[in-house]
Structure 1
Amino acid sequence: MVSSKVPAAAPGAPAAGALTGRSEDLISAVEALQGGSHVAVFVIGDSGLGKSRLIEAVVAELGAEVTPVRIHGSASLTKVPYGVLGPFIVGLPVQEATSQLAVLRTLWSHLEEEKRATQKPLLLIVDDGHDLDEATAGILAELAAAGWAKLLVGSAARPGLPEPLLQLWFEGIAERHDLRPLTLAQTTELLEGKLGAQVLPSVAEILWEASGGNPMLLNGLLEDAKKDGTLLRRNGVWLFTRHLNSHGDRLTDVVRRQLLLRSPEERQALNLVALAEPVSRELIESVAGGDAVESLIDSELIRLTDSPAGELRLWHTVYGDTLRNLISPARSLQLRQSLLRHMDSEPTSAEGLLRHVSWSIECGAEVEDRQLLRAAVLASRLDQDELVRKAAALVKDPEQQIAARAVIARTLFNASDYGAAQEILDADFCEGESLTSLLTGSLLWAAVMSALSHTPADIMQRAQDLKRAGDRLAKASPENSEAIIAAITERLGIMEAMVLALAGEYPQASAQAGHSGTRPVAHNLEAAFRLSLEAERLLAAGKGLSALAVMSQAIEGAGAVPYELDFLADFLVVRAAAAAVQAGDWQTSESLLAGFVAGSGRSLISFGGGVHAAHGIILLYQGRAAQALNTLSAALEALRLADPQQLFALTAAMAFSAAAEVGAQTKAELFLADFEAAPGALPRYMSSLAAMVVVYGKARLGNYPGAIAELKRLGRPDPEMETAGLEFEALALCLALGDTDSAPRLLELRAGLEGPRPAAICAYAAAISTDDAGDHLEAAKTCEAAELWTFAALAYDAAAHAYRDAGDTLRERMANSQRKRCLDRADDLPGEETAKNDDSLGILTRRERDIVALAVRGLTDRQIAAELQVSVRTVEGHLYRSYAKLNVKGREQLPGIGGH
């Protein structure tokens, strides 16, 4: 959707109100109706995909070229011949009302009057064409085929168009547009247009997933989320403050309208599926009847899964909460009893059990502790915190209550409420009377203590209580003493490896490994954490590719993760991404992040901030400071709500550096304050990076004269440690600040560094040492290949100076041109606010800004289409809308506005 700031489009430009993702359909439909080879355009799609909006956009685009006449289909008149033509044939005698010739003559007379009044060709507009009776459809098809009028018809995919209209398509004189759900990119564009501000990527991901790309459901979810405070704008960023509510007023209205069209048997079947999904088809049919189920499947309200058992689910998952919310407790209990009478066992799937327990709790039915605890664990994995608390609170057995409280603590950990989590876990730590309850929550306890900035030594000293409790339990059960001691020893090993990995204390890790070296690693979790520590050591040594290989091994070997360590996957991905970023392997880092997002689902609200932070750091390292600033700002807002990986301080430091890079003084001051107020629970390597980029940012702002010396000191924190990687990061920042004296030391480090990023920056350092124009050009090309746009610009600038000193003005101009091109790729000139913050460009959607940027660079429409992998027609449509929004006549005026 376009911004409300958009001025009226000029005649001939695409309609400003066209739906996002439908531009090609709009242009093609208009061209078909304007041309001579087509007599009809059919718009086909499921409910909510935007058929009516597209039809209205086509009519608006045609404007004064046609005489629009609207015919409204009606489900109640589907079996009444010519019923929908009533308003046009009111003067027809009753005895002739069923005569096709008489109806056609009367209708044509009415239409001719309208055509004479406007002197424009007729366009018959039919919404809900699937509800037309065959007789009416036949007359409309005859009018179109004879060339007396053109048709614009919208229809549901099921049952589809009546046969006479469909025949026009078979004959090749009608154009058909089958609307598809919006893609993620289109959903993002729509949200940006509606919200008019920066939208956190996870917001688009979650809404797209929940709505299935259906614009009607998307708009309903969006309005409900804004209304109930689930979606808020903080510091210019739209983000979710909690999990999406899918039973708000707008969505409830949509579902109610669907229910009004269904029979009592169908409503019963739909409610049963909503309450019990996934549920056996045979079971639902035994209660509500096979016809009702078949009808709901045909109407795409429920679907049959690919499971061998033939389970039923709602077609749109967001309908579930709404339907369940509409059912009274008494009716819910009645439905539950009717279903239980036909069930011979409890649900076998995890999700089925979760719905079964949730439904039982809602009805006030008794649920045994085993099911409650299992449901609580499953709900915690799906971030259904409300169900976690409800199920855990009903557990009665004292030993199982320890496990139930640990699950609640896990939800608090994910919400970054570490104090509350510690309070629960401290009370139960080492208090269990069985080995299972003794170990329950111990790993989460250690993670919480680490998040609260306790040192590994302190945590492991307190963890000795677990050993003493294990000894007590072993004495009480001599026959199991060996197994108990072994399990406790294994758990302490995992805890030790974990807290060291979380703190990034790789020197101590080596010492500890030597201290306990006679004990082999007995658990894959311990192995994963030990590998993470090795990767941390390699990162500090500048061996990013080796660290990435080690982290890949850790990810592959982690195996099944206990529910209390659900953050482990995030932890491993973040460490792997850090290795890829240091090396400059952008493709691998993006693949890691994309893979994590694809598997996160609802947990993106808890863990998505770290993903966005990683994207922002990649952009900053590439020299795209303006884009990095936007991404890191959004990530910070997400991390304020939930920060399981304690990445807030690093992200604030990077955001401060990005703001300083583009000269955004006020923002930089705010981010610096965030960094200084953040808890210091970062791993050692990340803590060192954060300190370095803060020094760099202060130097960029011009208020840190000792920055170079400070950076070099931070790069070598301990002469006894191998920290070539940290020193490389420090010296790279020194080079970016113009300190060419750092080049010789970088060349000394070059042989031990890994990856295209260190290689490119060291190539620039080598060119500085020779100060040869050709070397500078080669270094610039190497930096370009590594996508380090700021360093490439610096190398081209050095080449231009060398050519100028040599009196070669032609090559000097060439080098300066290349420098400008690299700075364009890096968003803007350092120290200047990005043009993307300009109000005139702020009204453009993301895709429009991308296309305008390429047009400013001089690319043709066809080249832009190839670059963005869209059609030329799409490019033309976006440019037309951009011209109208920016109030310019053509692309020749764009550089004066965008400067992009």
Structure 2
Amino acid sequence: MGGSWRLLERPVEYDTVHSALTTSAAGGIVLVGAAGVGKTTLARTVTADLDAPVRWAACTESSRAIPLGAFAPWIRDPASRDPLALLSSARENLIAGARPVVGVDDAHLLDQLSATLLHQIAVEGSARIVATVRAGEPLPGAVLSLWKDGYLERYELAPLAERQCVELVEAVLSGPLEGLSADVMWERSAGNPLYLRNMVEAALATGGLSRVDGIWQLRGPAAVPSGLAELLHERLARAEQPVRDVLTMLALHEPFDLELLVDLEGEEAVDAAELAGLITIGPDTGGEAARFTHPLLGEVVRSRLGRVSARRRRGRIVAALRDHPLDTAAERIRMAQLCVDSDQPVDTGLLIAAAKDAVALSDLPLGEKLARAARDRGGGLPAAELLSRALLWQGHPRAAYAELAGFDPAQLDEFELLIWGLPVASLRFWAYGDAAGCRAVLTLMTDRVEHPALRLAVDAIQAMVAVHENRIDDGITLAEHVLAQPNSPRQAVDFAAFAAGLAMPPAGRGLDFAPIAVRCRATRKPTDGIIRAMIRYGEVLALISVGNLDAAERRACESGQFATSGQFAGWAIEKISVGAVAVCRGRLRDAVRALEQALAALAAESALPWQLPAQLLLARAYATLGDVASAEQILVAADRHSGSHTAVHEPHRLLARAWVAAADHNCYTAVEFARAAADLAHRSGQYGFEAEALHHAARFGDRTVAARLDALRTRVQGPLAGLYARHAAAVAEPGTRGLAAVSLELEHAGLLPAAADAAAQAVPRHDHAGQRRLSAEATARALRLAARCDGATTPALVAVARPLPITAREREITALIARGLTNREIAERLVVSTRTVEGHIYRACGKLDATDREHLAALVWPHDPPELG
């Protein structure tokens, strides 16, 4: 841990307490809240800042047994047995001086005489009072009357908000916390600072909280540390046995249907548990249900329950629920979990159904657990297939393949062959990059599977394979065929929609994907949560491709309701969608945060293929920010994902390299990479991405792509191709009006980095024409837009920031000189002759009156020279 636990600033609460002790008409304040919520810390922080003397009394269970035990330090003659004398002595010393402040910690533990003294001081106003009271505890009447009769203010101290929890934990860990882990921590701690601290320290000690690629992430169950367990157990110990029985049942099955809980444990016990503040009763599906008042109470109860007793109690719950309908995924999952660990017989069919539900909800560890239980109880191929899928999506391909390797496809009927073949083909292709092995499995299924509906599932996975191999037309044709059939199985529809979502946007058919996305959202029972997350990603890409960035952002930010760390893969894909929109809008820091968190979440024993889109977007974001080293490092990591199974992303890889070259001040190389990306996209049918890549070339200064972009306007759906073509035409034309107009259009479309580039590209033309006022206005606009993009440093913006009368090639050469390269090394790098390099240096020295090449480099790059790429 880099930092230490500190008081989190709570300005509203601080001001409330401070006002009550200084300027308020009331005589002070009583802070009420749960144990560990920060009452004492807040009170002592405020009183430490006061000018008045402060006298603190801390109450305990032992002090409560002694008359005036809390105020014993202020009694001059403690041997006296006269209560009035003791009371008078304590009062006299407590209020001595100019209206002091009396602080009482845990005032609910005051003995009667101490409570009377505190009440007397409040009534006469001889001192200001600040007291803390634990919520839900019985209070002496004199303490209760402090605020009921208006002598003191009462303030209920609320738990921390999620943002505050994240701020506190990140300060302690000295690093960013994964968003999904932050959600889980906040939910589990309920915003209680003490619980949060104990949870974090315990997770660090057990390895459940670790740093991956610079991001702290929580995985697996978080143990309840002994200190916190004792604190909670102290509260539980005061409950009667019937109440503890209620809590034990609830710990095994939360939320618990209220009527069923009453049947099992009795009405009086349930009422007593509620009145003690240990459980709450609230609405739930189909009626009312009981829940713990704090999530960690259940964990403490479970930690003190033996295995035999737990199995027996779960058995009672299972028997009581045996005839209840299991209509929802949550009901099936909860029942399956109960059965697995109970003393009742287990229905393997229920385990398989629940495992399917867990995988559909993207909770992969839970799906693995239930599928493994089903396999161990004779679940056969259906259980093995689910287990294999859960393992694959968690990045464990070898274990996933091992679950299916023992089945002989020759012994399987066509339905079983499909269940076996789909994951085996997927493993061969995406996990191992074995295209030939994948094709062999697909051929086997094509030859033997004859049922029309089952054949559609084979067609759907063939569509996925074709798209990833960058056979865009083949993939879209197969996907549309599957989607057009009324009898297509749900899994086939999901696979086909995934293929279409990955292919249609870069193909320039983003509008065509809209009804497919609507159809998939309307399906209430997805077969695979990760596939569904990828379909949503495809919808975001489609909306971006047609220029509807507002809708894309709304869709990307619609939470998938991820509530456990086991849903990390689906959560990560959601973050990639958020990052894709942020890159287009120029919110580069937001993009970096989202994409780095996604990559950290996807870290596994095997490099997961869906890391690649995140890496390529992240490299572009870093490059646009001018961080060449980080961008290059990301591209090196992305090289692990190469082969036919990732060919669809190759144009994107080339464009990322273009941006790294641009950030490295190699504009000619950047243009070449962007053109190469466009050419590859064209050959594979990615006409939408071809248009995007050509537009990037125009942003780098390429004046040759306007006609090619104009020809794409009829092949690419949406307005962006036309907008790109107008920008490229303005770059090719000698005037400035076109660039000014297209900059406004790009800004209106939300493409702020491109808008900044268009404005910047007009500046040297104004300068050439002697239009100083227009040049200044264009410069100001470009830099203003760049600031909105977190300080983007594109080639056009760099030229505006350093308005020197040299060409782009001369600027590129001076950047290489600043790194220490010789003329020969520069020539080799730029693939030109040494004499050509010397000619550029000679002309640039003449323009800037530089004495030599080193002087020239210092003039062009007066600050830190660019890093070596």
* Alignment partner of 1:19 out of 8, 27, 42: 8
2:122 corresponding residue in structure 1: 144
- Higher mean displacement: 103-112 or 73-82: 73-82
Alpha-carbon distance in 1 for matches of 2:32, 2:433: 61
Three-state SS of the structure 2 residue aligned to 1:151 is strand
1:761: Cα distance to partner?
5.0
Counterpart CA distance in 2 for 1:75 and 1:386 is 43
Mapped contact 1:649–1:680 kept (Cα < 8 A): no
| Structure 2 letter corresponding to 1:526 | A
- Report the alpha carbon displacement of residue 503 of structure 1 after superposing the two structures with TM: 5.3
Structure 1 counterpart of 2:32, from 41, 44, 64: 44
Which residue type is aligned with residue 523 of structure 1? Answer: P
Instruction: Assess, with a 3 A threshold, how the Cα gap between structure 1 residues 742 and 90 changes in structure 2: closer, same or farther.
Output: farther
Quick check: 1:367 aligned with 2:346? Answer: yes
> What does residue 160 of structure 2 align with?
182
Q: Is the contact made by 1:534 and 1:547 (CA closer than 8 Å) also made in structure 2?
A: no
Instruction: Measure how far apart 1:453 and its partner are.
Output: 6.2
- Equivalence for 1:607: 570
1:24-423 matches, within 5 Å, as 24-62=12-50, 65-74=51-60, 84-89=70-75, 91=77, 96-97=82-83, 105-113=88-96, 115=97, 121-132=99-110, 136-137=114-115, 139-159=117-137, 169=147, 174-240=152-218, 242-249=219-226, 252-285=229-262, 288-307=265-284, 308=286, 310-333=288-311, 335-336=313-314, 345=323, 348=326, 351=330, 354=333, 358=337, 361-362=340-341, 366-378=345-357, 380=359, 381=361, 383=363, 385=365, 388-389=368-369, 392-393=372-373, 395=375, 400-423=379-402
Give deviations 1:324-357, integer Å, cap 9, x for gaps.
Answer: 2332223334545666787775785765665555
Distance change >3 Å, CA 362–CA 604, structure 1 → 2: closer
**Aligned amino acid, residue 184 of structure 2:** I
State the secondary structure of the residue aligned to 1:293: helix
Q: Which runs of 5+ in 2 are unaligned?
A: 796-869
DSSP-derived class of the 2:30 partner: strand
1:430-470 deviation per Cα after TM superposition (whole angstroms, max 9, x unaligned): 46767765554544344334423668897465235446666
Farther off after superposition, 405-414 or 663-672: 663-672
> Offset of 1:217 from its aligned partner?
2.6
Q: Tell me how far 1:813 sits from its aligned partner.
A: 3.6
Kept in 1: contact 2:501–2:537 (CA 8 A): no
Q: In the aligned structure 2, how far is the partner of 1:573 from the partner of 1:49?
A: 39
The counterpart of 1:617, out of the listed 580, 583, 586, is: 580
Partner of 1:553: 518
Aligned mates of 1:757, 1:166 — CA distance in 2: 68
> Is the 1:636–1:651 contact (alpha carbons within 8 Å) kept by the matching residues of 2?
yes
What is the Cα deviation at residue 288 of structure 1?
A: 4.5
Give the partner amino acid of 1:190: L
Identity over the aligned pairs, expressed in percent?
22
1:492 to 425, 450, 458: 458
1:573 to 536, 549, 552: 536
Give the C-alpha shift of residue 110 in structure 1: 1.2
Distance in structure 2 (CA, Å) of the matches to 1:340 and 1:794: 65
Deviation digits for residues 37-73 of structure 1, max 9, x if unmatched?
34213322223322222223223333xx121212234
**1:507 match:** 473
Query: Structure 1: how far apart are the matches of 2:37 and 2:773?
Result: 57
Q: Structure 1: which amino acid aligns with 2:14?
A: L
Q: Describe the shift of the 1:567–1:23 C-alpha distance in structure 2 as closer, same or farther (beyond 3 A).
A: same
Report the counterpart of residue 848 of structure 1 in structure 2.
none
The Cα of 1:520 is off from its aligned counterpart by 5.8
Distance in 2 separating the partners of 1:738 and 1:607? 39
SS for the counterpart of 1:70 is strand
CA contact (8 A) 1:731 1:746 kept: yes
Query: CA, structure 1 residues 362+146, in 2 after alignment: closer, same or farther (shift >3 Å)?
Result: same
Deviation at 1:364, TM superposition (A): 6.5
Give the SS at the match of 1:204: helix
RMSD: 4.1
**CA contact under 8 A between 2:37 and 2:157: conserved in structure 1?**
yes
Q: d(CA) in 2 for partners of 1:514 and 1:73?
A: 73
Closer/same/farther in 2, CA of residues 292 and 771 from structure 1, 3 Å limit: farther
Decide whether the 8 Å contact of 1:744 with 1:769 is kept in 2.
Answer: no
Alpha-carbon shift at residue 132 of structure 1 (Å) = 4.0
SS at match of 1:640: coil
CA-to-aligned-CA distance 1:667-691 (integer Å, 9 cap, x gap): 3332222111224466655332223
Q: Which moved more, 1:509-518 or 1:286-295?
A: 509-518
Tell me by how many angstroms 1:526 deviates: 3.4
Residues 6-51 of structure 1: CA deviation (Å, up to 9, x unaligned): xxxxxxxxxx94325x222113322342324342133222233222
Secondary structure at the aligned position of 2:131 is classed as strand
TM-aligned CA distance change 1:303 to 1:172, over 3 Å? closer
Q: Across the two proteins, how many residue pairs are aligned to each other?
A: 792
Q: Is the 8 A contact 2:572 2:601 kept in 1?
A: yes
Structure 1 residues 497 and 387 mapped into 2: Cα distance closer, same or farther (>3 Å)? closer
Deviation, structure 1 residue 824: 2.1
Larger RCO, structure (CA 8 Å, separation 6 or more): 1
TM-score by length of structure 2 reads 0.79
For residues 537 and 601 of structure 2, the distance between their equivalents in structure 1, rounded to whole angstroms, comes to: 16
Deviation of 1:742 (Å): 3.5
Contact 2:255 2:291 in 1 (8 A): yes
* Alpha carbons 1:456, 1:500 under 8 Å: kept: no
Tell me which residue corresponds to 2:672: 709
Per-residue deviation, residues 157-200 of structure 1 (Å, max 9, x unmatched): 32487665666656777444333333332222222212111222
1:513 and 1:573 mapped to 2: Cα distance? 16
